[in-house]
Structure 1
């Protein structure tokens, strides 16, 4: 039986010294956590979360490591709020964790418009422009382009072994992994699990980003692929264009790699279905793969190819090199 908000509120008082709760309500957090929104007498609001599975417990632990790595100095570089760990209390072999509440409403893809996409692009670029050193200092993953590419190839090989992926798609993905120009990028700080639901917004602007359990240094395209699911291509382009402008066009192939990540998400869904032995999930993934074939029909004979761009101007080259040096500090 799920714990009531009042029970969770009592746990919150044990986790946070001096917390004086005057109200507690349910907090929609999916099936992975039992959660409640806590209001204190001083008006501050808090969220308490209790994981309901080993997977969600592991996710919560990783999130805490990431939030601790995001120091005050690092957070000051971000144009939005990030949750702060407030305290924890043991319960039933796991732990309840309390965070402060970041202002804003959860973003959805259906709600994403040009104005909000621009703010999302700017916010994502701010994450990617953080210095990479704090991630390494926290012992979090720091991946090279080759390591990232090998990981994608592993996903492709496993999906291919199911014999359920259309040959045309496998060929399309293989050509993308063989296009060396796509993989000549500078790894950046990445959230690693961004989606529309990661963003909180108010009046068309991002106010916060939640869910940092996959914080690492990796491929910036990993944080952007979900934008391709926006309701119109114009909305997606608004996000990508603002992202590129904010970062100074330092990664000219990010949208092409994002396209590959987006398509491989279906392959991961297929693999999840086969691992869980769920006919329903497998059938859904196969249907989505066939839909992908139909949607990119006419494009299968060429690679998700790199952009052929004009030669960079001297000031662009200098800006790119300065940015790389800054990120490596």
Structure 2
């Protein structure tokens, strides 16, 4: 049974001694969520969010998130153009613990609601660039994972080989992935600090910009493309190009011209991972769903020559081209932008 927001408010007073709570409200997805969550309002009008994991997986994720948030000291946070949750306190409850965080105003981004003319697209690109520009000492000094370019290629190859062993992946996709994995030029990149689990709802939006980024449990050094693969599901190519363009402008390092191709490969391998998940769980519904997605992907890449994974075709925009594209693209009037009322300070998955 899900804990009520009144129970969670009581837990927050134990986690944060002296907290003077005047009201509370529920958030999240109730019994279907991975966390029981609530927002509490203090007498000084500040707000906090309290979460209690409802499964072992969620508890493990929350523990990793705590390590990452503690690693993000004030100095590192000062380099970011958005807020990151602060851990305000914790208290044991049953066989787990309740964690209280600072509350960040904003609404989770919805990819289908964004378009290429939306200034939020640029803000998202700059937000990702700022994460990737953090010093790698943030990760190494905290004992968080470090992945080399060779590691990234090896892990992608393992996913491809395991998916191939199921016999459910179309041969043309296996050939496409093998070509990319064997292309050494594709894997010549400089690892950076990466969020590790970015998706549209990781970004909180307010006033036409990113106000906060959530879900830091996979913080590590790795392939920057792993934070951008979700853009392959963007409602338009123009939107993805705008985010990548703002990202490239936000980086102080030379443009990684294979970034978008690796991001595309990771997006395709996500379907392979879904297939493997279904296979491991012996879930025929998931397996059937993955097979349908793979069949659709096979048709899509066969007919779409704009998304090659090899490095000998296609071009990524140079910085000068990006600047010109951004200059020509019309901006929306902020006064007409959609309402960005805050839904949740912490992603509920």
Equivalent position to 2:100, from 92, 98, 101: 98
Q: Do residues 185 (structure 1) and 189 (structure 2) align?
A: yes
Q: Give per-residue Cα distances to partners, 1:228-266, cap 9 Å, x unaligned.
A: 211111111100111112215431110000000000010
Describe the SS at the equivalent of 1:262.
helix
Q: Give per-residue Cα distances to partners, 1:163-193, cap 9 Å, x unaligned.
A: 1111110110010001111100000000000
Q: Do residues 231 (structure 1) and 235 (structure 2) align?
A: yes
Shift of 1:99: 0.2
Structure 2 match to 1:323: none
| Residues 157-306 of structure 1 aligned to structure 2 (within 5 Å) | 157-248=161-252, 249-298=254-303, 304-306=309-311
CA contact (8 A) 1:274 1:282 kept: yes
Describe the SS at the equivalent of 2:255.
coil
Superposition misfits of 4+ residues, deviation over 4 angstroms: 307-310
Describe the SS at the equivalent of 1:134.
helix
For CA contacts below 8 A with separation 6 or more, give which structure has more relative contact order.
Answer: 2
For 2:52 and 2:82, the matched residues in 1 are separated by 26
Gapped runs of 5+ residues in structure 1? 314-329
For 1:34 and 1:106, the matched residues in 2 are separated by 18
CA contact (8 A) 1:46 1:98 kept: yes
RMSD: 1.8
Q: Give per-residue Cα distances to partners, 1:113-163, cap 9 Å, x unaligned.
A: 232111100100000001001210000011110011111111111111111
CA contact (8 A) 2:261 2:308 kept: no
Describe the SS at the equivalent of 2:295.
helix
Describe the SS at the equivalent of 1:211.
coil
Describe the SS at the equivalent of 1:207.
strand
CA contact (8 A) 1:176 1:303 kept: no
Describe the SS at the equivalent of 2:112.
coil
CA contact (8 A) 2:186 2:262 kept: yes
Q: Single out whichever of 62-71 and 225-234 deviates more from structure 2.
A: 225-234
For 2:79 and 2:312, the matched residues in 1 are separated by 31
Shift of 1:26: 1.1
Structure 2 match to 1:24: 24
For 1:204 and 1:229, the matched residues in 2 are separated by 21
For 1:23 and 1:118, the matched residues in 2 are separated by 36
Q: Single out whichever of 69-78 and 196-205 deviates more from structure 2.
A: 196-205
Describe the SS at the equivalent of 1:46.
strand
TM-score by length of 1: 0.91
Describe the SS at the equivalent of 1:297.
helix
For 1:23 and 1:167, the matched residues in 2 are separated by 58
For 1:276 and 1:154, the matched residues in 2 are separated by 19
| Residues 129-168 of structure 1 aligned to structure 2 (within 5 Å) | 129-168=133-172
Structure 2 match to 1:326: none
CA contact (8 A) 2:83 2:104 kept: yes
Shift of 1:36: 0.6
For 1:291 and 1:38, the matched residues in 2 are separated by 45
For 1:299 and 1:123, the matched residues in 2 are separated by 30
TM-score by length of 2: 0.86
Structure 2 match to 1:15: 15
For 1:42 and 1:175, the matched residues in 2 are separated by 59
For 1:80 and 1:232, the matched residues in 2 are separated by 25
Number of equivalenced pairs: 311
Q: Do residues 79 (structure 1) and 87 (structure 2) align?
A: no
CA contact (8 A) 1:79 1:123 kept: yes
Shift of 1:299: 5.7
For 1:22 and 1:124, the matched residues in 2 are separated by 36
Q: Do residues 36 (structure 1) and 38 (structure 2) align?
A: yes
